[in-house]
Amino acid sequence: MAVGRVAHSKTRGRGQAIVEFVIALPILLFVIFGIIEFARMVFAWMAVQNAARFGIRYAVTGEYDEAYCVEAGNLLGAAYVNADTDGGDPQDCQIPDSYTGADKADKERELIDMARLFSIRDVAVGGGTGLWLRPSVSGNYEQYLGLHNAAFIGLPDETGFYHITVCSNRSGQYAMDYGNYAIPLCKDVASGVLMDDAGGPGDRVKVHVEHRHPLFLPLLSNIWPSVSLNAERDGIVEKFRTSRSLGVSGPILSAPTWTQTPTITLTPTITYTPTETYTPTPTATDIPVDCDLIDIDYSFIGDYGGGFFGALVRIRNNNPVPIHLFQADVGWDLIPPSRYLWAMQFNLSPWEILDDFSPPTSWVPHPPVAMAAGGLGDYVALFKPVAEPVQGVTTVNLTFEDGCTKGITANLPTSTATLTPTITDTPTVTPTPDCSQYSMSAFTFQNYAIQRLTVSNSDVVDARVSSIQLDWSYAENFGAVNGYPNLNVDWFRWDSSYFHLGGNGDGNIDSSSPTSWSGSLPFDSGDSYSWSLDFDSDWGGGGPLSGVVSSDFGVIINFDNGCQLRRDAIPRPIHSWTPSPTPTASLTATPPPPPTDTPLPSNTPTASNTPPPSSTPTTTYTPTITPSPTRTPVPSATPLPTNTLPPPTRTNTPIPSFTPVPTNTYTPVPTHSPTPTPIPTWTPACPFDDPNWPCQPTWTPTP
């Protein structure tokens, strides 16, 4: 008895230990994973701090990667690219000596400063090694710098978001804006547009790193899926554009002193010379300006770069005195109706923001913009919306001293840009677009309820997307049935361009199907483009959107040349996640009790009754035996006599003379159970295939 009690006690002890372990295990796992999650967060915070330190250390040196000079030239415009590559020089942000323009130093400085922004960003990203980054939600930095639009920074609320902001205090022109955007951004105070700036020698520069770190701990990630981490560092830009004195004792910052500037005070002695006669020259009143010596050196209407389209007129002043731009007049066609003239500039003057929605547009600068003698100056007019090609007739007239007017005219019926605005027959050269060469793939479903398909242009003609419509009625109804009534479309993306949108593209989510977007997107020949969309308030739990397939979504993509890609959604019933039991099992109650009294082996038809099909329906047993056929068919089709016809024609009718042994003829068919024996008794007294025949089959049992 004692042994039994000991064994029972040990069993109870083991059971108690298991129960305690099961209770303690979730808490233990939560603590372990919490420690891991906290360590990940500390590591990410240190990586973000390290990224800011790397970025500022590189920013203050003034260094840059020459590979980014191409992007810098594209953003600043053709005038900068031409100056950088003058005389066959490589595009390295260093303008060669062969370039004779008076703005050489300014252009070189702007090219280098733009390339520095990309280089600082690269170094900062490298300093944040180990961070979980998602380029798909981190925007397009080149488009952000070119278009000055916060939409191109990406999606700050998405996990894996990463952005570098570089800002300086150069001449008080730039400042960090901490309150008007989702993240701190640098703004040009003078023009009010968003623009990063790396500063010049002696300026204070700031590098701000913003990152959205994901949390993976169960339960916690459902409530708090990510945490925002940021770091900021300041520094003084070294004097990389001035020569340093070597071999001087003391700190390096004391070498490039500005003590030489007082020596320039000797210049007032020049006042004794006839230099006073040059002071009135800016008014251009004493020395006349020869209009013939003002030439158009270069002109262009089309793609200006950075997504902008507009007009550029390069003026060369061959006069011995400066000239001034007093007025600029631009005639343009309102094609499409959303087009408007955004801004003008001449000879690197500050941008004049006009936002003129009705042509023509005039600009009278105050004071008039001067251009040096023997110099070159670019006049630029830019249109919006961005990425919208110039169409129709565009005229530019520039007015200088004494009413001297220089201008160009171009007729561009299509969006095809041309370097020679006088050629009006270029549209006839473009081949006719072949819409059959456009194609799109099926949707693929990715994590975070993101869907993606590929749209390809196998034609030889470029085109542009003008609108996209998504029919997601099935997903909307599926979510409503299964407890997710707030499913909505957050954004579309065409390659790396994001569009937060609602039904009208107003920046809000779209909570009902269909979802539409209109604008202009590239669709170049021979290229394929990735189109993605993101659902929010979904049931995927961070994974793909389940329960739907590609054919549940309809897609319509319209192009500016009249072509259309269309794939309609294929309707199908909505399935619920809690299926109710179906009543199909009720068929088991239909078979009656086994017909044990009917299948007698001797109950076979005699030869006298079966052979002739013309037997009359006068048999007295027809009304009384009618219920029995319902008990005979085991397979299920009992009430139709047509199902019983094949057996009689196959075995009984050919040999009526063997009546003594009719039971042996049916015994080899055991699969039909004992009940098939009365089947041969059904002999048709009339044709069954004629529904108009007024007769019924007779039942002729064996007496």
Instruction: Please tell me whether residues 52 and 174 are part of one structural domain.
Output: yes
Instruction: Please tell me whether residues 51 and 88 are part of one structural domain.
Output: yes
Query: Percent of the chain at pLDDT above 70?
Result: 69
pLDDT tens per residue across span 288-347: 888 989 999 888 898 887 678 899 999 999 998 999 999 999 999 998 888 899 999 999
Instruction: Please tell me whether residues 156 and 205 are part of one structural domain.
Output: yes
- Determine which of 177-181, 440-444, 699-703 has the lowest per-residue pLDDT on average: 699-703
Given a cut of 70, whether residue 636 has pLDDT beyond it is: no
- Could you tell me if residue 278 is inside a domain? no
Instruction: Please tell me whether residues 381 and 468 are part of one structural domain.
Output: no
Give the DSSP letter of residue 263. Answer: G
Q: 290-298 long-range CB contacts below 8 Å, 24 or more apart?
A: 290/319, 291/400, 291/402, 291/404, 293/317, 293/318, 293/319, 294/318, 294/319, 294/323, 294/400, 294/404, 294/406, 295/406, 296/406, 296/408, 297/376
Given a cut of 70, whether residue 85 has pLDDT beyond it is: yes
Cβ burial, residue 421 (10 Å; 0-12/13-18/19+): buried
Q: Tokens 């299964």 map to which residue? A: 482
Instruction: Please tell me whether residues 171 and 221 are part of one structural domain.
Output: yes
- State the DSSP string of 320-353: SS-EEE-EEEEE----STT-EEEEEEETTPPPEE
- Determine which of 166-175, 253-262, 309-318 has the lowest per-residue pLDDT on average: 253-262
Instruction: Please tell me whether residues 41 and 142 are part of one structural domain.
Output: yes
Domain boundary among 522, 542, 567: 567
- Could you tell me if residue 374 is inside a domain? yes
Alpha-carbon distance 604 to 610, whole Å? Answer: 10
Alpha-carbon distance 348 to 325, whole Å? Answer: 12
Alpha-carbon distance 353 to 411, whole Å? Answer: 25
Residue 466, token pair as written in the block: 């003008």
Q: Tell me what pLDDT residue 338 has.
A: 87
Say how many C-beta atoms besides its own lie within 10 A of residue 519's C-beta. Answer: 20
pLDDT tens per residue across span 673-687: 444 444 444 444 444
Instruction: Please tell me whether residues 411 and 453 are part of one structural domain.
Output: no
Residue 30, token pair as written in the block: 């939560």
Residue 663 parent element (H or E) = helix 662-666
- Could you tell me if residue 367 is inside a domain? yes
Q: Tell me what pLDDT residue 153 has.
A: 93
Q: Side-chain half-sphere of 88: how many Cα atoms within 13 Å?
A: 0
Instruction: Please tell me whether residues 414 and 352 are part of one structural domain.
Output: yes
- Could you tell me if residue 284 is inside a domain? no
- Could you tell me if residue 183 is inside a domain? yes
Q: Tokens 């022109």 map to which residue? A: 173
At residue 492, the 3 state secondary structure works out as strand
Alpha-carbon distance 489 to 13, whole Å? Answer: 56
In total, how many domains does the chain have? 3
Average pLDDT over residues 223-228: 88
In sequence order, what are the residues at sequence separation of 6 or more whose Cβ sits closer than 8 angstroms to the Cβ of residue 494?
465, 521, 529, 530, 531
Instruction: Please tell me whether residues 530 and 463 are part of one structural domain.
Output: yes
Residue 385, preceding bond cis, omega within 30 degrees? yes
Given a cut of 50, whether residue 549 has pLDDT beyond it is: yes
Better pLDDT: 51 or 640 = 51
At residue 438, the 3 state secondary structure works out as strand
Domain boundary among 426, 445, 479: 426
Q: Tell me what pLDDT residue 366 has.
A: 87
Q: Tokens 């109650």 map to which residue? A: 589
- State the DSSP string of 613-625: TT--S--TTTTTS
Q: Are 648 and 665 in contact (CB under 8 A)?
A: no
Domain boundary among 236, 253, 280: 236
Instruction: Please tell me whether residues 392 and 456 are part of one structural domain.
Output: no
- Could you tell me if residue 623 is inside a domain? no
Residue 534 belongs to domain spanning: 435-567
Q: Tell me what pLDDT residue 412 has.
A: 81
Alpha-carbon distance 124 to 50, whole Å? Answer: 8
Instruction: Please tell me whether residues 416 and 314 are part of one structural domain.
Output: yes
CATH code for the domain in which residue 473 is found = 2.60.40
Alpha-carbon distance 611 to 605, whole Å? Answer: 10
Instruction: Please tell me whether residues 410 and 447 are part of one structural domain.
Output: no
Q: Are 547 and 487 in contact (CB under 8 A)?
A: no
**Cα 442 to chain centroid, rounded:** 15
